[in-house]
Structure 1
Amino acid sequence: MKSIQLIGLIFLFPTLFFGQTKAIITIQNNSAIARQEAVTAIKWENITTAFPEIDTANFVIINPNTKKQVPYQLEHLGKSSIQNVLIQIDVKPKSSLNLMLQKGKPNLFETKTYARYVPERKDDFAWENDKIAFRAYGKAIEKSNEDAYGFDVWVKRTKKMILNERYKTGNYHVDSGNGMDYYHVGYSLGAGNMAPYINDTIRYSANYHQYKVLDNGPLRSTFQLIYDTWDAGKIKIKVTKTISIDAGSQLNRIENVYTFDDNKPIPVVIGIIKRAEAGVISLNEQQGILAYWEPTFAQDGTTGVGSIFSNPTATMWIDKTQILAKTTVTNNSPIVYYTGACWDKAQEITNSKQWFDYLNNFQEQLKNPLTITIRQNKQ
């Protein structure tokens, strides 16, 4: 009935939807999983082909179902020219969504992702979205009693950006209403960092020494962390880690490029630190999902951590301090995986089953990406 009413509206008021429209974007969801708050990339070259006279400062994308603007971001990936237009949408299972691209003044869209270098806190690099936050440790903290090798998690229960506020107050180990940092990393890979695994030993690098921000919101923030060459069991290795966080997601996309003087692949592991108290662990080698629901820490709540692999995993196991999954990398060739966390006090994912289901659904979405077509409007 709703679709009939919509057709009637378009027939009666064609200029409402098509009068100034220059292109129609169709997003198809062929999977049985609803896409909610999904950030999707449309190649800029495809947009300019369908809408050659587009003005980058004067266009809007309209959802005719809501008659509202769709939030978008011009993604550069560190280049001077636009590479993609990122949009955030909802698409029902086995259905499609049509959007109208036309001239107009875009709204000021809410910032939902943010990343920055934090020199005032010993070279931290921190990043967040509207769900969760993370940080990596830099050069200034090396060889101190605060040094840590893995990714840190800052839990939050607000959609607002909180990094600057927490660093300004400096009291982020106490929950003042929007979350806190109670995650412990130490001498581990933390919440899903990766390291070479040579002769059955994790070969930790030093912390990152250089960084580069490629894009910074409002829907996706992407940056690189660059690590100096280190000795990984008599193999000289260096790595660049390109990390992206999307609005609405609990997980980061991580693309690592290892460079070393060997034509043979080398083993690497992705790890999650394990607590002494009992938690819930899932090792799904077949699907490539490493999942952990931590023990509850008194009034602080419970954190879920998980990693999803694009490459086949050779094996997963639990040692005394970490939950690990092993795969291999080749010289100067990117390896992509996803890792992230959730917090039960955010009241969205509140138990291990929900967390494991979230990771399974995320993996299914990776296997069944949305398809996008864009065409000129003939009307």
Structure 2
Amino acid sequence: MRFILLISSGIVSVIAGCGNPSVIEISNTIDEARKNEIVEIPMAELSLPSGRPFLIRDASGAEMPYQITYDSLLIFPATVAPLATAVYYIEEGVPATVDTVAVGRVYPDRADDLVWENQWSGYRAYGPAYQANGGMVFGYDIHTKSVDYPAVDERYTRERTQSNWDRLHRLREEGRSEEADSLQRWISYHVDSGTGMDPYTVGPTLGAGASAFMLADSTLVYPRSYQSCEILDNGPLRFTVDMIFGPLAVGGDTSVIEHRLLTLDSGALLNRAVVRYDSLSDSRTLATGIVVHRQNPDGSMWDSDLNIIAYADSTDNPCAGNGVIYIGAFIPASGDATHPTVAFLPLPEMKADAIGHTALLSSYAPGSDYVYYWGSGWSKHDIPTPEYWMDLMQSFARRINSPLEVTVLNKL
């Protein structure tokens, strides 16, 4: 999928009749390099005249991809050395086309699956049709990836194309078992056909980093499937979706509604989640969890100082050579006196190979926004060891806690 950035954003912003470019300084306040990290500038701060297109260049003159988001932010990838400042320029010109890397869609004919991805991984949230059919999967699913371009939609296309199944049936009827088995493996996105696969089991759990209220007896109030969703940004650099869950019964509150805003940027290790609950009367304990499967009961990792939990999942068939899925969640530092705690929450009984959750426990106040990050990587795509995954998680947390500082020096 390719877009002219100017068009894909849905907003035409320009620089008219100017000889000097607008100058943007981006400062890195930590001793750690930032490479192609998405930065945001409110369009109102730029005061760009309308009528003609613009482009962004770095100090070397190279053109940078950009996107204007649904909430009127100009976003683009910036690279800044440790403890340094980089300069970017906005000038008149028609931007080049750019490959879409952060993208998603809903599949109404696939039980309302909501699927999205970036270079690191693909994800699935289960929808209302799945729940209406009796589905009992609550948390996030994972589509592993070994390529940097969008690949998950092609997997769904293979699985949803009737002619593929017709050919499979003909091969079975003709007794051509070997060809039929090969075709069935190619059709199934649970088998790696060269770009990745879905080897992850969610079951009635939080899956790869969903959140749920925890009652006094440690019971989790699972949100089940989303009831409605609206895709707000769909590439090329950012995917954003607004989802609604519920109503939920949380203690004496019987009509709690969850609002969940998810954002996944190009190159970002993790998704950003902003969660808010309506019709909740009292503060409650909120658990952000990663399911622990019996195949690797000791695969959990954490950094309590940075509010990080992680897990090495052996996949639903460890003997099939499916690699290891690395999953993580992180709560940014805040000025609140409360600090999340790390806990293991065992399930009363094993379900779908799940024995419990590695979780971050926080106090949620009614009407507030709960912000956290979650996501995954794969051992067959640049994540060789659990230690390496934790290094990536810790680096990501430090960068989120010390965001790049953006200064607009002159407005055009």
Give 2:331's aligned amino acid.
F
Aligned partners of 2:120 and 2:376 also within 8 Å: no
State the alpha-carbon separation in 2 of the partners of residues 156 and 325 from structure 1: 26
Instruction: Kindly report structure 1 stretches of 4+ aligned residues shifted beyond 3 Å.
Output: 143-147
Within a 5 Å distance, the mapping from 1:61-80 to structure 2 comes to: 61-65=56-60, 67-77=61-71
Match of 1:10 in 2: none
State the alpha-carbon separation in 2 of the partners of residues 184 and 167 from structure 1: 18
Please say if 1:314 is aligned against 2:303.
no
Within a 5 Å distance, the mapping from 1:75-154 to structure 2 comes to: 75-77=69-71, 83-142=72-131, 144=133, 146-154=135-143
| 1:228 Cα deviation from its structure 2 partner | 2.5
| 1:123 Cα deviation from its structure 2 partner | 0.8
**Stretch moving more, 182-191 or 273-282:** 273-282
Helix, strand or coil at the partner of 1:166: helix
Match of 2:326 in 1: 304
Match of 2:350 in 1: none
Within a 5 Å distance, the mapping from 1:6-25 to structure 2 comes to: 20-25=19-24
Please say if 1:226 is aligned against 2:244.
yes
State the alpha-carbon separation in 1 of the partners of residues 342 and 325 from structure 2: 24
Match of 2:279 in 1: 260
Helix, strand or coil at the partner of 2:95: coil
Please say if 1:193 is aligned against 2:215.
no
Give 1:134's aligned amino acid.
Y
TM-score (norm 1): 0.87
Give 2:191's aligned amino acid.
V
Helix, strand or coil at the partner of 2:99: coil
Within a 5 Å distance, the mapping from 1:297-376 to structure 2 comes to: 297-298=318-319, 299-310=321-332, 312-319=339-346, 320-346=355-381, 348-376=382-410
State the alpha-carbon separation in 2 of the partners of residues 76 and 239 from structure 1: 21
State the alpha-carbon separation in 1 of the partners of residues 50 and 379 from structure 2: 44
Aligned partners of 1:25 and 1:373 also within 8 Å: yes
State the alpha-carbon separation in 1 of the partners of residues 292 and 132 from structure 2: 23
State the alpha-carbon separation in 1 of the partners of residues 357 and 343 from structure 2: 11
**RMSD, aligned CA:** 1.8
| 1:318 Cα deviation from its structure 2 partner | 4.7
Give structure 2 stretches of 5+ with no counterpart.
1-17, 160-187, 347-354
Please say if 1:293 is aligned against 2:312.
yes
State the alpha-carbon separation in 1 of the partners of residues 136 and 86 from structure 2: 48
| 1:146 Cα deviation from its structure 2 partner | 4.9
**How many pairs are equivalent?**
348
Aligned partners of 1:134 and 1:154 also within 8 Å: yes
Helix, strand or coil at the partner of 2:104: strand
Cα distance per residue 1:317-339 (max 9 Å; x no partner)? 25232212211212121100000
State the alpha-carbon separation in 2 of the partners of residues 89 and 293 from structure 1: 31
Helix, strand or coil at the partner of 1:287: coil
**Percent identical residues:** 27
Aligned partners of 2:208 and 2:375 also within 8 Å: yes
Cα distance per residue 1:13-70 (max 9 Å; x no partner)? xxxxxx943311111111111111201101111111xxx4354x510111132x2211
Inter-CA distance 266–63: structure 2 relative to 1 (3 Å threshold): same
Helix, strand or coil at the partner of 1:369: coil
Inter-CA distance 315–164: structure 2 relative to 1 (3 Å threshold): closer
State the alpha-carbon separation in 1 of the partners of residues 314 and 234 from structure 2: 34
Give 2:197's aligned amino acid.
M
State the alpha-carbon separation in 1 of the partners of residues 252 and 54 from structure 2: 55
Within a 5 Å distance, the mapping from 1:195-214 to structure 2 comes to: 195-199=212-216, 200-214=218-232
